[in-house]
Amino acid sequence: MAHLIRHKISNKITNAMNTASNKSQAKVSGAFARLGFQAATDEEGLGFAECDDLDYDYRQGMRMDAVQTEDGGEEVTGDGLEGDSHYQRDGTRHRASVKSGEGCEEFVEVKPKITAWDAGWNVTNAIQGMFVLGLPYAILHGGYLGLFLIIFAAVVCCYTGKILIACLYEENEDGELVRVRDSYVDIANACCAPRFPTLGGHIVNVAQIIELVMTCILYVVVSGNLLYNSFPWLPVSQKAWAVLATVALIPCAFLKDLKSVSKFSMLCTVAHFFINVVVIAYCLSRAHDWAWEKVKFYIDVKKFPISIGIIVFSYTSQIFLPSLEGSMQRPSEFHCMMDWTHIAACVLKGLFALVAYLTWADETEEVITDNLPGGIRAVVNLFLVAKALLSYPLPFFAAVEVFEKSFFGGGSIFPDCYGPARKLKSWGLGLRITLVVFTLLMALFVPHFALLMGLTGSLTGAGLCFLLPSLFHLKLLWRKLLWHHVFFDVAIFVVGGICSVSGFIHSIEGLIEAYK
């Protein structure tokens, strides 16, 4: 008890010192607040104070429990309390057992957590997915500059992914990082508060839904295209193949958590490496015919902006990152996971795009496997179809989460999709199946893989990967940023904005020409 009294006295002295320090900092931060850059709004400051109070009460309660245990009371143990103390989450439920004096034991159930390897499989599947098939087409219109953009996009997307997660955290009074936001939407709302507390969330929700649904549509488009080119002698159209592929995707409506999705992602990665090995091996067998003279420094001014969108879209994973990081057992391993996944993606994408383009040069197709000879093409395409179908659950699950959080339950205009014990209601299952059917209908009406990639990458990919993370980082953490961080954020915002506008315009022009 004497220890608790001393701790309370020291805590009051610390609070008094912090109050005096805050008054002196207010004069300095006022200038930045007038410019719109502020570490936290009044509402956020109140929220952080409440988090600190809850954290203090929690720690005091743990000490009291320890005192009671010594007196023969209850004993609390839990494996969920392990990990990096600097990344403990506010309000996170842990799996714990409570033992009473009578020997009874009660378990608290928690949401399944994933390891850094599971998270890495998900990110790898997102940035090394089907969309690498369009990278040789980007080299066709960009030459060496296209190769440079593959490397540049990897570095930038890795950086913006890290700063996006940094915006989820704030320091409490003890200097520990506390997760005060849970999603991309929470970050956007924090930046627009207090004048427009929900505007940012609505903008991000719209962008996320477009990005995720377009990703699902592209998986259906490429599945139909690959199956049609694998069996050209069968009297089945590309649209009919797309319908058959969609039938296999109906079970995605029953997904419950990211743990199941991680298993699909691991299988996708295995299939991806097999495909890369086969394609690169075939290209190496024709190394004596490589057209090095075709790779130049000039660019096709009209079509290269579409290539920028393709490259950017092939690295989009930011919309998944808050959910993935929130599901990790050890969030402190997130940065390391981002580094190795993006380094691996950069190396493999660069080699794949260059070797494939050198092999077919000006005859490079939108989907590179269409250039392979008949026998090899059929085998590779079947693996690609399997990969596309296994890749579909991750963006689908993320899109479902966005829909449910935005429109169902929690004070939304529609009732909750879940009943007691988090059991999905029948009409909620029907809505998920409707989303699968919608992706099929869009794939049937717009069956242009490369143009859809360029349009999506320019419209939402650049916004979610380049523009918004850098803007949010400047807004929320302005007072803590060094000069080079500010320079990087501003440069990424400007370059990303230019690429987004130009790529969007030229992708629309390409789609108009395709339908003439």
Q: How does pLDDT run across 194-252, given as a tens digit for each residue?
A: 888 888 888 888 888 888 888 888 889 888 888 888 888 888 888 899 999 999 888 88
SS3 171: strand
* DSSP symbols for 261-296: HHHHHHHHHHHHHHHHHHHHHHHHHTGGG--GGG--
Q: Of 183 and 306, which is predicted with more confidence?
A: 183
Determine contact, residues 124/265, Cβ cutoff 8 Å. yes
User: Taking every pair of C-alpha atoms in the chain, what is the biggest distance, in angstroms?
Assistant: 86
User: Which phi and psi angles does 43 have, rounded to 5°?
Assistant: -65, -40
What pLDDT sits at residue 8? 55
pLDDT mean over 271-288: 86
With contact defined as beta carbons under 8 Å apart, do 454 and 307 qualify? yes
CA distance 121 to 260: 12
- 70 CB-side CA count, 13 A: 6
Helices of type H across 193-313: 199-230, 238-247, 258-285, 304-313
Residue 133 confidence (pLDDT): 79
Does 22 score more than 90 pLDDT?
no
What does the pLDDT look like over 448-495, one tens digit per residue?
766 777 777 787 888 888 999 999 999 999 888 999 999 999 999 999
Kindly state the average pLDDT of the residues 183-200: 88
- Which of 283, 275, 285 has the alpha carbon at shortest distance from 379? 275
Judge whether residue 42 has pLDDT over 60: no
C-beta pairs of 49-58 under 8 Å, 24+ apart in sequence:
51/90, 51/172, 51/178, 51/180, 52/172, 52/173, 54/90, 55/90, 55/172, 55/174, 55/178, 56/11
User: Does 68 or 159 have the greater pLDDT score?
Assistant: 159
Q: What is the pLDDT of residues 150-174, one digit of tens each?
A: 999 999 999 999 999 999 999 888 8
Domain ranges of the chain: 128-515
Over residues 341-379, the pLDDT tens digits come to 999 999 988 988 999 999 998 888 877 888 888 778 888
Q: Which residue has the tokens 């029948």?
A: 426
Helices (H), 315-425: 321-327, 334-360, 374-391, 393-407
- The pTM of this model reads 0.68
- 180 neighbors 90 (Cβ within 8 angstroms): yes
pLDDT digit string (tens) for 75-126?
444 443 333 333 333 334 444 444 444 444 444 445 578 888 888 877 887 7
Count of CB atoms within 10 A of residue 263's CB?
13
pLDDT of 1:
52
Per-residue confidence band for 2, with pLDDT thresholds at 50, 70 and 90? low
In angstroms, the first-to-last Cα distance of the chain is 82
Could you tell me which residue, 303 or 162, shows the higher pLDDT?
Answer: 162
Three-class SS of residue 169?
strand
Q: What whole-number distance in Å separates Cα of residue 189 and Cα of residue 360? A: 48
- The fold of the 128-515 domain, in CATH, is Amino acid/polyamine transporter I (1.20.1740)
Weakest-pLDDT range from 164-168, 300-304, 499-503: 300-304
Structure confidence at residue 263 (pLDDT): 66
- DSSP, residue by residue, 53-68: HHHHHHHHHHHHHHHH
**By C-alpha distance, which of 376, 353, 514 is closest to 445?**
514
Radius of gyration of the chain (CA): 26
Number of helices (H), then strands (E), belonging to the chain: the values are 18, 5
Give the separation between CA 352 and CA 382, rounded to whole angstroms: 19
The span from the CA of 394 to the CA of 127, in Å, is: 12
Q: Name the amino acid, one letter, at 349.
A: K
Above 80 in pLDDT, residue 260?
no
Give the SS3 label for residue 95.
coil
Residue 316 has pLDDT above 90, yes or no: no
